[in-house]
Amino acid sequence: MPSRKTVFIRAAHDSDPEARVTRALDRAVDVVGWLYNHRQGVGLFIEYDYLGHVHRYFPDYVARARFGSVIHNLIVEVKGRFDDRDRKKARRGQWYAEMLSRYDREPWHYVLLVENKPEGREDVD
The whole-angstrom separation of Cα 69 and Cα 31 is 13
pLDDT of residue 11: 67
Segment 79-125, tens digit of pLDDT:
988 899 999 999 999 999 999 999 999 999 999 999 888 888 888 87
pLDDT of residue 40: 67
Segment 1-15, tens digit of pLDDT:
667 788 777 766 778
Buried b (16+ CB within 10 A) or exposed e, 52-68: eeeeebbbbbbbbbeee
Segment 25-48, tens digit of pLDDT:
999 999 999 998 877 667 899 999
Query: Could you tell me which residues are beta bridge partners of residue 71?
Result: 66
pLDDT of residue 16: 87
Q: What share of the chain is helix, strand, coil (3-state, %, to 5)?
A: 30, 35, 35
The values of phi and psi at residue 54, to 5°, are: -85, 130
pTM of structure: 0.89
